[in-house]
Amino acid sequence: MTAWWQRGIVYQVYPRSFMDSNGDGIGDLPGITAKLDYLAWLGVDAVWISPIFQSPMLDFGYDVADYRAIHPLFGALSDFDALLERAHALGLKVILDLVPNHTSHQHEWFRESRSSRGNPKRDWYIWRDAKPDGSPPNNWLAYFGGPSWTWDAATGQYYLHNFLPEQPDLNYRNPAVVEAMQETIRFWLDRGIDGFRVDVIDRMMKDPDLRDNPVDPDWKPGDNAAFRLKRVYSECGEGIHALIKIFRRTFDAYDDRVLIGEINYSTSPEFITGFYGSGSQPYGDEVHLPFNLALCMLPWDAGALRAFIDVYDAAIPPYGWGNYVLGNHDQPRIASKIGAAQARVAAMLLLTLRGTPTIYYGDELGMQNVPIAPEQYQDPQGINLGFSRDPQRTPMQWDASPNAGFTSGTPWLPLAADAARISVAVQGADPRSMLALHHRLIALRRADERLTLGAYASFDAPAGCFAYMRGDAYAVVLNLTGAAQTVTLPRSGEIVVSTHLDREGVTGAALELRPDEGVLVRLDG
């Protein structure tokens, strides 16, 4: 028996940018519902929707003011129910985004907490006195700039926030907070959602003594100022694994729901696999899928990829299941990082590895970062620190109509100059497009279990090429260079698909790869 999320493919929707149904320039739930047929056609299994809850939108929904209410920009609860019903009718699962580490400053819990030192919710957040000289309790730095502490003059204490001052961190050392978040999870699981992606799940616990973070010796001027210190004490604090286990038990009370955890960007397999927990039950007792974001960080180099994937795959405990991600709303687009030609090779990699793939909306078209002038930045990370995430959050490119069919109004972020060409409609009609490649690879993965569940084993290939087996049946050979290469397969076979979508048929053991080409081969016998 394998879980649906083990066989499946996840597709991430950034709801502001997927489809606008009412012309206000911002994507919404009826817009997503209208495009579910497209996702069903593409062949993915689940849609993960970034936060849709009530929020002042200072971090575009990652600052939640009410975990149970839909933001009116996105629609009403009834719109969500309609989305869920349509998705389920199409056989698609729906995963929402839970942001438990912090709330918005506008959340009722924080309003109460800051109202007085004696308020029963005071201890729901992390409040501390100033040092004798009036400075913050320690040196921690917020991800979005400045110190992690903000002074509250009315009650004469500092509160902790790892992100914006308007995103105060909850205090998970208080059992009432743990219980309140469990109730939030149950509310949505009862409503029928299929799981949550949990934001910064590893950062919910801090050092109990709030010790100073050490300086990062590798940081240099010009790097993001928020990373001058190593976040040794401000996250992954004592008790984090016990807390995640409590979250997990809430999921386990329901059938078949998935808990995906966003953990720190790391290329340490040991760090990532540390979040499966113990093998006391199938799929561990912590996170089902601890996001493996290593492919977002590693250089696009065959040797580096092989070295990481070999170790990661082997490090996944026998009761756990891996996953891979090429991009998301926080990272530059893969096609911009490695170029359009190699993005096709990356798609073959993502969709043929042993581990659940997550596709970021628009990457199936090869969407690129859209240049955005600093005065137009919306993202607080861009405004405060200069590292804007807006370029990877631009509207989905549907067709050649104005605004690429995303909105009849003014889009909240500009569209790419080539949006009409790099679109679902145009690529859907082109049998060799990036979209056609995704459609084909997904269909192949779905059709043969060996491409999902089969063992992964890399084999030697010329420098610049990465080659691996899936089960004994399939070889995947990827040319990460712009020159022709010859790879030696374990034996002869049949080319099932090339990333160029222009060849199939028999091959000997010596397989010639063209520049920027990846090939999937079904081996004989």
Using CB under 6 A, list all residues that contact ligand NOJ.
59, 62, 99, 163, 199-200, 262, 329-330
Burial 96-121 (b: 16+ CB within 10 A, else e): bbbbbbbbbbbbebbeebbeeeeeeb
Q: Which does 259 bind (CB under 5 to 8 A by kind): ligand NOJ, Ca ion, none?
A: none
**Which CB sits closer to Ca ion, 15 or 43?**
15
199 carries an active-site annotation: yes
Sketch the per residue contact string, 106 through 125, with Ca ion: x for CB under 5 A, - otherwise: --------------------
Nearest approach, Cβ of residue 51 and ligand NOJ (Å): 8
Provide the H-helix boundaries in 355-502.
Answer: 380-385, 424-428, 434-447, 449-453
∠ CA 111-113-117, nearest 5°, is: 130
> Is the Cβ of residue 20 or residue 235 nearer to Ca ion in the bound state?
20
What are the φ and ψ backbone dihedral angles of 294, each rounded to 5 degrees? -60, -35
Shortest CB 493 distance to ligand NOJ, Å:
41
Instruction: Give the residue with the Cβ less far from ligand NOJ, 122 or 329.
Output: 329
The site partner of 18 among ligand NOJ, Ca ion, none (C-beta below 5 to 8 Å per kind) is none
Residue position matching structure tokens 């999937």: 520
Quick check: 26 binds Ca ion (CB under 5 A)? yes
Q: Which of 20, 79, 166, 199 is catalytic?
A: 199
Min separation Cβ 326 and ligand NOJ, Å: 15
Closer residue to ligand NOJ, CB minimum distance, 235 or 262:
262
Of 20, 63, 262, 364, catalytic: 262
Per DSSP, 512 falls in state E
Query: Of 293 and 442, which CB lies nearer to ligand NOJ in the complex structure?
Result: 293
Picked from ligand NOJ, Ca ion, none, the partner binding residue 20 (CB below 5 to 8 A depending on kind) is: Ca ion
In whole angstroms, give the CA distance from residue 309 to residue 324.
10
Which of ligand NOJ, Ca ion, none does residue 22 bind to, with CB < 5 to 8 Å depending on kind? Ca ion
Name residues whose C-beta falls within 8 Å of residue 266's C-beta, 6 or more positions apart in sequence: 272, 293, 294, 297
Give me the least distance between CB of 445 and ligand NOJ, in Å please.
26
Count of other CB atoms within 10 angstroms of residue 235 = 21
List residues bridging with 523 in a β-sheet. Answer: 493
By CB under 5 A, name the one of 12, 18, 28, 160 that touches Ca ion: 28
Our finding on whether 24 is near Ca ion (CB under 5 A) is yes
Considering the complex, state which of residue 24 and residue 123 has its C-beta at the smaller distance from Ca ion: 24
Shortest distance (Å) from residue 401 CB to Ca ion: 17
Is 314 exposed, middle or buried, given 0-12, 13-18 or 19+ CB atoms closer than 10 A? Answer: exposed
The tokens of 158 are what?
């500092």
Distance CA 181, CA 246 (A): 10
280, with CB counted inside 10 A (0-12, 13-18, 19+), is exposed
Question: Which of ligand NOJ, Ca ion, none has residue 329 at its interface (CB below 5 to 8 Å by kind)?
Answer: ligand NOJ
Number of residues counted as binding Ca ion (CB under 5 A): 5
Partner interacting with residue 163 (select from ligand NOJ, Ca ion, none; CB below 5-8 Å by kind)? ligand NOJ
Helix, strand or coil, per DSSP, at residue 206: coil
CB of 49 to ligand NOJ, least distance (A): 13
The answer to whether residue 57 forms part of the interface with Ca ion (CB under 5 A) is no
Please choose which of Ca ion, ligand NOJ, none residue 199 contacts, taking the beta carbon within 5 to 8 angstroms, the exact cut-off set by kind: ligand NOJ
Considering beta carbons, is residue 138 or 392 the nearer one to ligand NOJ?
392
Cβ neighbours of residue 83 under 8 Å, at least 6 residues apart?
Answer: 29, 30, 32, 33, 36, 94
d(CA 235, CA 102): 13
Choose among Ca ion, ligand NOJ, none what residue 390 binds, the Cβ cut-off being 5 to 8 Å by kind: none
Distance separating alpha carbons of residues 471 and 466, to the nearest angstrom: 16
Q: Tell the smallest beta-carbon distance from residue 197 to ligand NOJ (Å).
A: 9
User: What's the min distance (Å) between Cβ of 337 and ligand NOJ?
Assistant: 18
* 26 or 451: CB nearest Ca ion: 26
Helix (H) or strand (E) holding 290: strand 289-290
Cα-Cα-Cα-Cα torsion 213, 217, 219, 225, nearest 10 degrees, comes to: 20
Euclidean distance between CA atoms 308 and 298, whole angstroms: 9
Closest approach of ligand NOJ to the CB of residue 329, in Å: 6
The DSSP secondary structure of 64-75, one letter per residue, reads -SEEEEE-TTT-
Whether 262 is catalytic is yes
CB 231 within 8 A of CB 269: no
Q: CB-wise, 62 or 251, nearer to ligand NOJ?
A: 62
**Minimal CB distance to ligand NOJ: which residue?**
62
* Of 3, 4, 22, 472, the one binding Ca ion by CB under 5 A: 22
Q: Which spans of this chain sit near Ca ion (rule: CB under 5 A)?
A: 20, 22, 24, 26, 28
Q: Which residues are catalytic?
A: 199, 262
